[in-house]
């Protein structure tokens, strides 16, 4: 029996960079959506990078009918506008992923799988990661010696899906450009400032002709990812519309802000967000001197969005091989298997989790000397002494409260006394009036108030003006 074949469906210009991690590991062939229908036989497997367009959807349906295993390799984030806010006459299917047509979907992270399961895909999702990122070390870029603060401004491959969305993206980019024009020098203060001032420089990596609209130089020449990796190694911060590129920036530890004027729900969050023009200055200042708590939040968002354990290719190969094995066994045990009858288990891959971001008290609370202690015994001794002091203070507090209660009881008895009571009340009244005199030494007309000391007078605030 011949070994089953694996097909990556699409034109070479569309899928070569997606297929590259697999070609060295599996017998992968790149075939168009038309050719693969004639080439694939029952028991083979076809990988799709998209189910948005009819050529892929019709191909996937036909392959399933012929008992060819199908896998949707998702290579990007979920985005609200793409999922829900397309034009009525949009050429892409408005119901893409609801449900997924392929037998299985390889998700980039746990949060994506969770959302897709809610969209009616329970049992189809497998968390794999992004194989093409395996070759890109997730190492923070060391700081440069110059005083230039470089910000990479990016848009997604498709900046908008309606004229209104494109106009909104354009406006947000224009606001950034205007800010940069008036803020060539970024003045910084605070414990995390790399310098008192930095020269700001915006690098633009734009799609959809946005660079011509803004009149800026575009750094974008290709979208396979290699150029982006080189660019990210030379910037200090990233501001981007919702895009998979934000995950690539975040995994390198680069402070990343989501540029989103659309006011719609977000399936993926960054460390910072710019949703209005008046947030630009504050956010960029924070990007230039990110606090440990902000960077910690960014890392937690990345862990939810991307499985980044360094072996996404291994997981994808494992998934493909196990799907081939399941399909082969079903075809072997049932040679006359009816069309569209392949069935795959709900969970093929073993679950995997990112290492949890380190919650470092020393890093997150640098102003608390207790968290800076190197020697645990000293910290324990200080803690024991502090507890003794707290117990002593609590004891003193209890004693003082008891004495105060006794004083209140004595004072109440004095006030009720037929002789001492009126004297105490007159004294209280005198003290109150003297306090008022201190607050208003002179009236606006220059006269001084006369105080009535008669305790029988019920009007405590009555005054009589002196007359000559």
CATH assignment at residue 84: 3.40.50.2000
Burial environment of residue 243 by CB neighbours within 10 A (0 to 12, 13 to 18, 19 or more): buried
Quick one: pLDDT at residue 255? Answer: 97
127 and 115 in contact (C-beta within 8 Å)?
A: no
* pLDDT-based confidence at residue 135 (cuts at 50, 70, 90): confident
173 found inside a domain: yes
Same domain, 302 and 153: yes
High-pLDDT (> 90) share of the chain, %: 60
Same domain, 108 and 26: yes
CA angle in degrees (0–180, nearest 5) for 196-248-281: 35
Residue 383: is its pLDDT beyond 60?
Answer: yes
Residue 236: is its pLDDT beyond 60?
Answer: yes
Range of the domain at 393: 378-439
Higher pLDDT, 418 or 19: 19
Same domain, 302 and 164: yes
CA angle in degrees (0–180, nearest 5) for 227-231-224: 20
Same domain, 208 and 256: yes
Residue 466: is its pLDDT beyond 80?
Answer: no
Higher pLDDT, 67 or 147: 67
Same domain, 165 and 298: yes
- Please report which helix (H) or strand (E) contains residue 63, including its range: helix 54-65
Peptide bond preceding 183 in cis form (omega within 30 of 0): no
Q: pTM score, two decimals?
A: 0.78
Q: What is the mean pLDDT of residues 404-428?
A: 80
Same domain, 296 and 319: no
Residue 150: is its pLDDT beyond 60?
Answer: yes
Residue 221: is its pLDDT beyond 90?
Answer: no
| Residue 73, beta-bridge partner list | 106
Beta-strand relationship, 148-154 and 45-48: unpaired
Quick one: pLDDT at residue 170? Answer: 97
Quick one: pLDDT at residue 467? Answer: 41
368 found inside a domain: no
458 found inside a domain: no
Same domain, 158 and 271: yes
Residue 446: is its pLDDT beyond 60?
Answer: no
Lowest mean pLDDT, pick from 288-297, 322-331, 429-438: 429-438
272 found inside a domain: yes
Q: Is the dihedral of CA 83, 88, 90, 92 positive or negative?
A: positive
Same domain, 183 and 94: no
Closest Cα to residue 216, out of 208, 205, 224, 227? Answer: 205
79 found inside a domain: yes
- The rounded mean pLDDT for the chain is 88
Lowest mean pLDDT, pick from 42-56, 212-226, 304-318, 340-354: 212-226
Same domain, 180 and 296: yes
Same domain, 99 and 209: no
For 69-122, the pLDDT digits (tens) are: 999 999 899 999 999 988 888 888 989 999 999 999 999 999 999 999 999 999
Say how many domains are in the chain.
3
Strands (E), 237-323: 237-240, 256-259, 272-274
354 found inside a domain: no
338 found inside a domain: no
* pLDDT-based confidence at residue 358 (cuts at 50, 70, 90): low
Lowest mean pLDDT, pick from 60-74, 157-171, 421-435, 441-455: 441-455
High-pLDDT (> 70) share of the chain, %: 92
466 found inside a domain: no
Lowest mean pLDDT, pick from 229-233, 434-438, 454-458: 454-458
Same domain, 100 and 243: no
Same domain, 96 and 162: no
């Amino acid at each position: 029996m011949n070994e089953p074949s694996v097909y990556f469906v699409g034109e070479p210009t569309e899928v070569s960079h997606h297929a590259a991690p697999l070609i060295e590991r599996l017998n992968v062939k790149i075939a168009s959506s038309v050719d693969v229908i004639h080439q694939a036989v029952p028991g083979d497997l076809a990988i799709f990078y998209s189910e948005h367009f009819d050529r892929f959807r019709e191909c996937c349906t036909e392959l399933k009918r012929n008992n060819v295993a199908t896998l949707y390799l998702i290579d990007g984030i979920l985005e609200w506008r793409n999922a829900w806010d397309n034009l009525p006459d949009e050429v892409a299917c408005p119901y893409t992923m609801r449900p997924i047509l392929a037998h299985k979907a390889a998700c980039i992270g746990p949060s994506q799988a969770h959302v897709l399961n809610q969209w009616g895909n329970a049992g189809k999702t497998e968390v794999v990661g992004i194989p093409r990122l395996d070759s890109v070390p997730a190492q923070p870029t060391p700081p440069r010696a110059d005083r230039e603060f470089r910000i990479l401004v990016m848009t997604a491959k498709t900046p908008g899906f309606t004229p209104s969305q494109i106009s909104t993206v354009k406006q947000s980019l224009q606001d950034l450009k205007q800010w940069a024009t008036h803020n060539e020098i970024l003045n910084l203060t605070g414990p995390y400032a790399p310098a008192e001032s930095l020269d700001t420089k915006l690098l633009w990596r734009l799609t959809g002709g946005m660079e011509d609209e803004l009149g800026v130089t575009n750094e974008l020449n290709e979208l396979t990812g290699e150029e982006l990796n080189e660019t990210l190694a030379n910037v200090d911060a990233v501001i981007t519309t919702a895009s998979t590129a934000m995950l690539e920036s975040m995994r390198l530890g680069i402070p990343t802000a989501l540029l989103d004027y659309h006011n719609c729900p977000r399936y993926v969050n960054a460390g910072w967000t710019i949703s209005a023009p008046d947030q630009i200055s504050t956010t960029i200042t924070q990007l230039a001197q990110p606090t440990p708590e902000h960077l910690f939040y960014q890392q937690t968002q990345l862990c939810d969005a991307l499985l980044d354990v360094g072996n996404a290719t291994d997981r994808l190969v494992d998934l493909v091989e196990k799907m081939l094995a399941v399909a082969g066994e079903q075809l072997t045990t049932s040679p006359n298997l009816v069309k569209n009858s392949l069935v795959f288990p709900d969970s093929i891959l073993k679950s995997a989790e990112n290492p949890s971001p380190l919650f470092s008290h020393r890093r997150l609370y640098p102003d608390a000397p207790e968290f800076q202690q190197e020697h645990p015994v000293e910290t324990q001794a200080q803690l024991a002494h502090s507890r003794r002091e707290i117990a002593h203070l609590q004891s003193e507090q209890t004693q003082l409260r008891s004495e105060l209660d006794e004083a209140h009881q004595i004072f109440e008895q004095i006030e009720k006394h037929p002789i001492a009571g009126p004297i105490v009340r007159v004294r209280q009244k005198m003290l109150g009036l003297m306090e008022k005199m201190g607050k208003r030494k002179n009236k606006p007309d220059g006269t001084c108030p006369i105080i009535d000391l008669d305790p029988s007078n019920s009007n405590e605030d009555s005054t009589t003006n002196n007359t000559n």
